[in-house]
A = this chain, B = another copy of it.
Amino acid sequence: MSVDRYGLGRVVGEPGVLPQRAQRLDPSLPLRRGELLVEVEALNVDAASFHQLRGEAGGDAKRVGEAVARIVRERGKLQNPVTGSGGMLIGRVREVAPEHPQIPPVASGQRIATLVSLTLTPLELSAVTGVDLATERVDVHGHAILFASGLYALLPEDLPDALSLAVLDVCGAPGQVARLARPGMRVLVLGAGKSGALCLAEARRRMEGKGQLLALDISPTALASLRNVGLCDDTLEVNATHAVDVLAAVERATGGALCDLVINCASVPNTEMATVLATRAGGTALFFSMATSFTAATLGAEGVGKDLTLLMGNGYVPGHAELALSLVRTEPELRALFESRYAR
């Protein structure tokens, strides 16, 4: 019998349904072939889910903890029934079953963070020991199971957990940029947040000082922090939902050439058209914003008759975690930016 790579056997009562869509998972032990057992220390709840739980609990940390315990007891995973979202967890490896692929290699006792969503991770809790409303972190005792296809990263010993988690949360973005950015290109990043900053840092590396690297955001403060740490050549202070304004700004900045590669890391909807218009004919637009509308992007490109490659940002690229962590390790200003903004 082959390994149950996607954890279908852990789904309760819905044959053929994948764990992410399932109502309930079975987190019981013993471990099965190809699985990995984690002794869980803390759950980093997805922002949308935490916001909902906190609201429902009237801002009471204890009641948030009770709600988390109840969801996990009922569903065998932390998938918020209202928002549908999960989060990630950190913990210590306790057992690696035969035939687990071990990428990266891992041994019992090592600390890891999961890079697959809690919405598909079998989880059993014996206690919730604390809820930090500020960092959306829930301290727990319990165990989780990763399938053979389940991504994880070793938690670095040289970086604080909060910093590592902030970076790992968006590590797919710079991983994709590494494949696309080349010396001499004109590159634009829309959105000066966490993933935008990592994309800029990786693009700058790949461009080897040749080309033009632009950052666009509505916030002058966010752009100033990027500029101060030298993450881009120019900043464009524009509302990315105003496609025509973005086009005008990018035309000015590039002498009319537009950009070879545009990376959308915006946190708001309706920025597809700005992305399309800022990309030159024959160029590539890479969408990481979770607010991206498929139809807005494809019909938008067709509507203006532009031949460009429209890529959806896959959150997984082999080696993405190490690559993203290496960025904050080797760039002190980027690390300082992350520590001050995302990992306090």
Contact = CB atoms under 8 A, between A and B. Distances in A.
Interface of A: 5-6, 8, 16-18, 20, 115-117, 119-120, 149-151, 172, 242-245, 273, 277, 287, 290, 292-295, 297-318
A312 B298 contact: yes
B301 A244 contact: no
Contacts of A313: 298, 310
A316 B311 contact: no
Given A16-B245, A119-B303, A299-B315, 17 more contacts: A6-B244, A16-B242, A18-B244, A18-B303, A18-B304, A115-B302, A116-B302, A117-B302, A287-B294, A290-B294, A290-B298, A294-B294, A301-B315, A306-B316, A308-B314, A309-B311, A311-B311
B303 A116 contact: yes
Contacts of A277: 6
A59 to B, nearest CB: 28
Contact of A16 (B16, B149, B244, B301): B244
Assembly stoichiometry (copies): 2
Contact of A293 (B149, B242, B294): B294
Contacts of A151: 302, 305
Contact of A302 (B292, B293, B314): B314
A173 B299 CA distance: 13
The 3 closest A-B pairs by CB, nearest first: A302-B315, A310-B312, A292-B294
27 contacts: A5-B304, A6-B304, A16-B245, A18-B244, A20-B300, A20-B303, A115-B302, A116-B303, A116-B305, A117-B303, A149-B304, A172-B302, A287-B312, A290-B294, A290-B298, A292-B294, A293-B294, A294-B294, A298-B313, A301-B316, A302-B315, A308-B314, A310-B311, A310-B313, A310-B314, A311-B311, A311-B312
A250 to B, nearest CB: 14
Contacts of A116: 302-303, 305
